[in-house]
Structure 1
């Protein structure tokens, strides 16, 4: 059945649309331009680190200098080249067909930090932005991760009661100031979070300001712990 279907609709690269052998795959060129994160990584933000993974937690320079309110974090890819194009296609290009493969990448990356009874929740969008975009890409990714890991998913755990200007083009301090008290746990979900570990999911991490606001809200509402997982991590070149 699948072979016959492929004769009519051949598998296409999710990055460029070229021919590939498997559904939801990348062609050789797009694969080379996708920086999957593996090996030794920062235990807080998931950015790759030099050296060999010896089984102990290591932190990047940024996470050594910035107090992160969450415990652990992971990222699947670096936010550049094909990875950046895929993130933007999902976020702004209505490429919902990307959710299964990108969600699978995210689930694999997050596996080392998952805990039993963990509650998975996305970074929320303000209702006006959600109305304009029609979907929350973070919620689609968090749902895929939760299904793959067999964990509870709560897409409306967090709320964004006030609209915040875009973080794009802002420096680190401005990003954190922009997100101060911008996220809270939905009142009807207060009982669901109490005493449980929470995994917050987003598509991209740059400074970590949005994730920090979400983590602070979860801890204030009684979460036992908070970890974060993002599809893509912005990393400094060189």
Structure 2
């Protein structure tokens, strides 16, 4: 009976793959499996890892002390404990992020989460995964929060709990692109709050904050500071892509 069920499942998968073959998450080329990139797009991605700043993950050109921080973190200590991104922001990374955010392709969240999961291998058993929230007006227009979809996928992959509504964006904020540092700080002031349920859940536990793209860091920094005030034991950030240089 079990063998027959496995055979039926295999046949159904083959039929689905024939009718709807898995495609590259960026360009749409047919691939040999789901949640993969074609060779050209794969080679265009710049995967991030060691050596890097122990705190913000900014890549170093050569290996340094394992606990060394970059100059930016030493000059202005971030409110988070650790930031890691799967890839550097570039044409392919941008295309995939935009597909998830604006093209109503929620399945892309699973693809991104699979590449991000390598930076979440050391999560404490009691860690909770929290998405950077969107304001309700934006969710009504878009239909979903892309960071929440990634957070839910990461929770499934890591076996950790996801708390999708413990951190909320309580006021709408303008686009931050083009703003200076002080203007960004003013725009983000008071934008986020932890719910009573979230505070009870976060207190004394490690929190993994999830976002799709890390640009200036203004949003993630404010979220991390709010989580710290709510009593989180530590706040780490993980994202799909980060801007290495603001060209």
> What is aligned with 2:131?
122
Count of matched residue pairs: 236
> What is aligned with 2:55?
44
Q: Distance in 1 between matches of 2:224 and 2:55?
A: 13
- 1:227 aligned onto 2:236: yes
| TM-score between both structures, scaled by the size of structure 2 | 0.89
> What is aligned with 2:7?
none
Report which stretch shifted further, 10-19 or 124-133.
10-19
Question: CA deviation digits over 1:163-200, x for unaligned, max 9?
Answer: 11111222333222211221110123221111111111
Pairs within 5 Å for 1:1-238: 1=11, 2-52=13-63, 56-112=66-122, 114-236=123-245
Instruction: Tell me if the contact between 1:46 and 1:233 (Cα under 8 Å) persists in the aligned partners.
Output: no
Question: CA deviation digits over 1:137-169, x for unaligned, max 9?
Answer: 111111111221111110001011111111122
CA RMSD, Structure 1 to Structure 2 (Å): 1.8
Q: Distance in 1 between matches of 2:64 and 2:37?
A: 27
Task: Say if 1:92 and 1:60 are closer, same or farther in 2 by CA, change over 3 A.
Answer: farther
Question: Aligned to 1:202, what secondary structure does the other structure show?
Answer: strand
Q: Following TM superposition, by how much is the alpha carbon of 1:235 offset from its aligned partner in structure 2, in angstroms?
A: 0.7
Q: Following TM superposition, by how much is the alpha carbon of 1:110 offset from its aligned partner in structure 2, in angstroms?
A: 2.9
Which structure has the larger Rg over C-alpha atoms? Answer: 2
Segments of 4+ moved more than 6 angstroms: none
Instruction: Tell me if the contact between 1:158 and 1:184 (Cα under 8 Å) persists in the aligned partners.
Output: yes
Q: Following TM superposition, by how much is the alpha carbon of 1:237 offset from its aligned partner in structure 2, in angstroms?
A: 6.8
